[in-house]
Structure 1
Amino acid sequence: MFCFREPVCFEGMDNDGICSIYELRGETCIDDLPNECLLNVVRFLMHCADQDAFGLTCQRWLKIQNEARCSIKFQFRDMSAPNCTKYLSKLLDRFPALISVSLVGCTEISDSALALFPSAGLKLKSILLDCCFSITDDGLSHICNNSKGLSSLSLYRCNISDIGLEHVARSCPNLEIINLSYCANVSDSGIAALGEGCLGLKIVNISFCKNIQGIGFKKCLFLQYLDADSCRLTDDGLCAIPNGSSLQYLNLSHSRNLIDLGSRGFSCIGMACSNLQFLHTRMCRTLDDSAVIEISRGCPLLKEWNLAVCPQVTVVGWKEVALNCRNLEILHVNRCRHFCNRSLLFLRSGCPKLSSLYMHGCPNLNPLTVELFKQARCFVRIILEENMCAGFCVDEFVKNFAVKVKTKTCLVLQ
């Protein structure tokens, strides 16, 4: 039995006397609980106010609270002061159980600050460096050398190059998630280095990376999620995807290469990606019927396909989508100029699992045909809005498909 009441203290009685009273009464004080029990208690406190109240109880409980911290988020806008480097290192040393550190928006943090990353960083699983504009390849190498067990790394809008990615590949073999969107200095050489050094790489975001053509993904054998929005991928780049690829999500929207990416490259998706479930090809103006036929036949697990603003897809392509995409649940056909009455009739008799149809801006559609479709497929929602994405965002994908990085008991420092 635990007793939380203070015993009666007689004048002149010391702590040993108080403890003897507890022993005589057969009761145990909460201070007698081992640290492991109190650590479990603080981990079940879901609200920050409760966690803070726990730590303010006494020095021992504060230390236990620090040991329970799994995630820390810095929100300093000015990390240029000389003391910031020292404080950063001390704060990270204070929380020995950290698995996630966020420096998102710390635009002035320098390589010298990252050089003092604690050796305890070996336990870190996730590091976010989004918009850390002053970090170079040297700073990234400091982090990687002290974080060998890293599984998730975000470098959104960072000024790193292939050299930095080579450091990551050598030092972080367990890396599974990396965000390289808007990293203008990264090329296929860096992607290939990641594929060779990080054999478990599952999720990659290279959106708006203008120097990546896709050839480097030949080394990424277990990739499940690839976001290549607004990139300049080529036919050779898409054909480099290994046969039997594990890809489940692929975003190729807003393709910026209208010369070197065409039917051959898109057709390789159908040949190599039999596990694909979410395909985003919005505004891929060189995607044609032959590629659509190859994809519809080669990707039987496809659940969502965004074909909005694909002007070269005609009724031939729509017919194949209706015939072959037996698991398709969501289809986007917004502003497809060749999506006509016959196309909708094919969908009416095909795609048995279709539940949502994003359709507006199709000039060759007759309202009567639309009404007939609604009567025949009354369970299909026709949505007159345009959704710019398909499937899961990366956070949802991680939650549903990939590794889970637990970040309970988070601390935000401003």
Structure 2
Amino acid sequence: MIMRGHDRINPILPDELILEIFRHLGSKPSRDACSVVCKRWLDLERLSRDTIRVGASNNPDALVKLLARRFINAKNVYIDERLSISLPVQFGRRRGGDPSALSSLNLNYATEKSGSEDVEMDSYCLSDAGLTAVGEGFTKLEKLSLIWCSNVTSAGLKSIAEKCSSLRSLDLQGCYVGDHGLAAVGDCCKQVEDLNLRFCEGLTDRGLIELTIGCGKTLKSLGVAACAKITDVSLEAVGSHCRFLETLSLDSEFINNKGVLAVAKGCRLLKVLKLQCINVTDEALEAVGIFCSSLELLALYSFQRFTDKGLSAIGKGCKKLKNLTLSDCYFLSDNGLEAVAAGCSELTHLEVNGCHNIGTSGLEFVGRSCTRLSELALLYCQKIGNFALSEVGRGCKHLQALHLVDCSSIGDDAICSIAAGCKNLKKLHIRRCYEVGNKGIIAVGENCKFLTDLSLRFCDRVGDEALIAIGQGCPIEHLNVSGCHQIGDAGIIAIARGCPELIYLDVSVLQNLGDMAMAELGEGCPLLKDIVLSHCRQITDVGLSHLVKKCTLLETCHMVYCPGISAAGVATVISSCVGIKKVLVEKWKVSQRTKRRAGSVISYLCVDL
């Protein structure tokens, strides 16, 4: 509608209406496309942008200053120096713009420059000067995330606090800020609700105490991990000042019962509690059960000093509990899980990971009592047998996701029970459960008509017969059959013909899979975006060519240790798939021409092969 010499939209539409349209655009590519229509739309789109995300760059301070000048209404700023950023267009001079503003920003990745001795690594890290620019430029800032910005200090954080009094969320994961900076946040930012201090090694009790004094009335979420100088003293301050705290995540060997007790007694509205504290015992969990009746999520990791007594207290007091994770809790038994099942009938998510004393009877009680269960994960549970899942199948009709890893006593009978009873199942992930074979997976194909995500990694009793049933009965979108050596062309062809919505496929280590299956996938699965072919010895350039001829949306392709695929096959993938983002292959299979054409998307597993 905007033609050369004729603008049919701009004279009619006011700024307010265009801004409102921009605010309703869901994706960044859509907003970017609108911004290049004309200079007016570019300026208005910048005014409407409320979220800025920044990855690693050569000169982050200069980049932040530039962004702050252009997106003055941004409320959410996320800076993550673990991540590289990909630029869709080459930086260059805009007509009427400052020719030096962008030329100083050479946004190459630090990882690409790491071999040069001339590069000062500090230039790749946001400094206090950049943080000051954030505070001065984004005056409406409400959410600030600084992930592993190792060069910022209390001085930079203080400048943010003084300029951005509307700050509500602050994530300082991996930042070496000190007490003065955190105290400044407490003094100036009276609306802070969410605070993440994971891996902030420079903090002590003093800083966190001063923050709780200033923000205690608004703080709702707090995360602390690997902060050796934060002790029970800080948690006592949290319990005293943060009456409205709803989420607490603690990972520390320096926290004891005293701190958790203080939080349980003082923060009666607590809904989420995640603990990885090896010195916490039953006494603390009993207090949680008594005082935190609103608790909805509890995650206990690597607990070695609490028993069924503590978990029983949770079952008695936390009637609203919906999500429970028990990981490496060696002294828990079926009795503790039975107490939770009996008391927490609203439970919807349960994960039992490496709790070697929990067996079949505990899961039986879950199946009988927790009829709302929608997701169940059993990892490294050697004592849990078929009958446990039979009870889950009978009682948990709303189950949508089941994860099984290294559960050696669970076999086809259990999977058949799940298939027969849980017809709403959408996700089934099974890994190294060697008693699961064709019988169980066929039952899934016949009964679970909503299944979209199936993973059967290293289930070596599963073969083509099972995948034929899945292809005929389930609308699979994600499929992983890595290491299922009995699966060959027939099974994958059935998937190709029956699952046109397939977008992810991992068939690595399938020695009997060949080019015929690749050709069928190309014909039947045009939406395929990610494929893993590594260690498939029968697949050649011919099959790969048939695959990419129709699967033009492919974004990632892993094909290491495939002797039938040569440099020509790699080049075919690169040339056929315009949206390809990653190709994993041996270095010697990449020609110089292919490297010049798409070197940025090629990764090498074994450089010297």
The match for 1:321 among 521, 533, 537 is 521
Equivalence for 1:202:
400
Tell whether 2:444 aligns with 1:216: no
Deviations 1:326-347 (A, max 9, x none): 2111111112111112112202
Query: Which whole-Å CA distance do the structure 2 matches of 1:223 and 1:210 have between them?
Result: 22
The match for 1:156 among 349, 353, 369 is 353
The match for 1:186 among 384, 389, 395 is 384
Equivalence for 2:193:
45
Equivalence for 2:277:
76
Contact 1:296/1:321 (8 A) holds in 2: yes
> What is the CA-CA distance between 1:372 and the residue it aligns to?
3.9
Once the two structures are aligned, what percentage of the paired residues are identical? 23
- Specify the SS of the correspondent of 1:74: strand
The match for 1:262 among 463, 488, 497 is 463
Query: Which whole-Å CA distance do the structure 1 matches of 2:361 and 2:423 have between them?
Result: 22
Query: Which whole-Å CA distance do the structure 1 matches of 2:570 and 2:276 have between them?
Result: 51
Contact 2:394/2:417 (8 A) holds in 1: no
The one-letter code sitting in structure 2 at the alignment partner of 1:210 is: S
> What is the CA-CA distance between 1:78 and the residue it aligns to?
4.7
Query: Which whole-Å CA distance do the structure 2 matches of 1:230 and 1:137 have between them?
Result: 24
Equivalence for 2:437:
234
Segments of structure 1 that go 5 or more residues without pairing to the other structure are 1-40, 387-414
Equivalence for 2:106:
none
Query: Which whole-Å CA distance do the structure 2 matches of 1:148 and 1:279 have between them?
Result: 33
Contact 1:285/1:310 (8 A) holds in 2: yes
Equivalence for 1:132:
329
Query: Which whole-Å CA distance do the structure 2 matches of 1:372 and 1:86 have between them?
Result: 63
The one-letter code sitting in structure 1 at the alignment partner of 2:336 is: G
The one-letter code sitting in structure 1 at the alignment partner of 2:453 is: Y
Equivalence for 2:493:
293
- Specify the SS of the correspondent of 1:384: strand
Equivalence for 2:216:
54
* C-alpha RMSD of matched pairs (Å): 2.6
Query: Which whole-Å CA distance do the structure 2 matches of 1:132 and 1:109 have between them?
Result: 8
- Specify the SS of the correspondent of 2:372: coil
Mark the CA change 1:385 to 1:342 in structure 2 (over 3 Å): closer, same or farther.
Answer: closer
> What is the CA-CA distance between 1:180 and the residue it aligns to?
0.5
1:320-399 superposed matches below 5 A? 320-384=520-584
Mark the CA change 1:103 to 1:319 in structure 2 (over 3 Å): closer, same or farther.
Answer: same
The one-letter code sitting in structure 2 at the alignment partner of 1:239 is: I
1:80-91 superposed matches below 5 A? 84-91=281-288
Mark the CA change 1:382 to 1:111 in structure 2 (over 3 Å): closer, same or farther.
Answer: closer
Mark the CA change 1:167 to 1:248 in structure 2 (over 3 Å): closer, same or farther.
Answer: same
Mark the CA change 1:369 to 1:143 in structure 2 (over 3 Å): closer, same or farther.
Answer: closer
> What is the CA-CA distance between 1:277 and the residue it aligns to?
1.1
Name segments (4+ residues, structure 1) moved above 4 Å: 41-44, 48-53, 55-65
Contact 2:371/2:396 (8 A) holds in 1: yes
Equivalence for 1:248:
452
Query: Which whole-Å CA distance do the structure 2 matches of 1:356 and 1:60 have between them?
Result: 51
Query: Which whole-Å CA distance do the structure 2 matches of 1:112 and 1:58 have between them?
Result: 26
Mark the CA change 1:157 to 1:146 in structure 2 (over 3 Å): closer, same or farther.
Answer: same
Mark the CA change 1:126 to 1:59 in structure 2 (over 3 Å): closer, same or farther.
Answer: closer
> What is the CA-CA distance between 1:252 and the residue it aligns to?
0.6
Contact 2:452/2:477 (8 A) holds in 1: yes
Deviations 1:244-278 (A, max 9, x none): 52222111111243xxx32212222212212x111
The one-letter code sitting in structure 2 at the alignment partner of 1:228 is: I
TM-score, L = length of structure 2: 0.52
- Specify the SS of the correspondent of 2:454: strand
Which range moved further: 89-98 or 59-68? 59-68
The one-letter code sitting in structure 1 at the alignment partner of 2:437 is: T
The one-letter code sitting in structure 2 at the alignment partner of 1:236 is: K
Query: Which whole-Å CA distance do the structure 2 matches of 1:127 and 1:373 have between them?
Result: 44
Contact 2:552/2:576 (8 A) holds in 1: no
Equivalence for 2:87:
none
How many residues get paired? Answer: 338
Query: Which whole-Å CA distance do the structure 2 matches of 1:150 and 1:264 have between them?
Result: 36
Contact 1:289/1:314 (8 A) holds in 2: yes
- Specify the SS of the correspondent of 2:379: coil
Mark the CA change 1:380 to 1:115 in structure 2 (over 3 Å): closer, same or farther.
Answer: closer
> What is the CA-CA distance between 1:51 and the residue it aligns to?
5.2
Which range moved further: 292-301 or 350-359? 350-359
TM-score, L = length of structure 1: 0.75
Query: Which whole-Å CA distance do the structure 1 matches of 2:505 and 2:521 have between them?
Result: 10
Query: Which whole-Å CA distance do the structure 2 matches of 1:284 and 1:307 have between them?
Result: 8
Contact 1:282/1:310 (8 A) holds in 2: yes
Mark the CA change 1:119 to 1:323 in structure 2 (over 3 Å): closer, same or farther.
Answer: same
The one-letter code sitting in structure 2 at the alignment partner of 1:238 is: I
> What is the CA-CA distance between 1:375 and the residue it aligns to?
2.6
Mark the CA change 1:62 to 1:321 in structure 2 (over 3 Å): closer, same or farther.
Answer: closer
- Specify the SS of the correspondent of 2:402: strand
Equivalence for 2:40:
none
Contact 2:294/2:318 (8 A) holds in 1: no
> What is the CA-CA distance between 1:313 and the residue it aligns to?
0.8
Deviations 1:257-315 (A, max 9, x none): 3xxx32212222212212x1111111111111111111111112111000111111111
> What is the CA-CA distance between 1:62 and the residue it aligns to?
4.9
Contact 1:45/1:51 (8 A) holds in 2: no
The one-letter code sitting in structure 2 at the alignment partner of 1:177 is: E
Mark the CA change 1:236 to 1:51 in structure 2 (over 3 Å): closer, same or farther.
Answer: farther
Contact 2:489/2:514 (8 A) holds in 1: yes
Query: Which whole-Å CA distance do the structure 1 matches of 2:560 and 2:238 have between them?
Result: 63
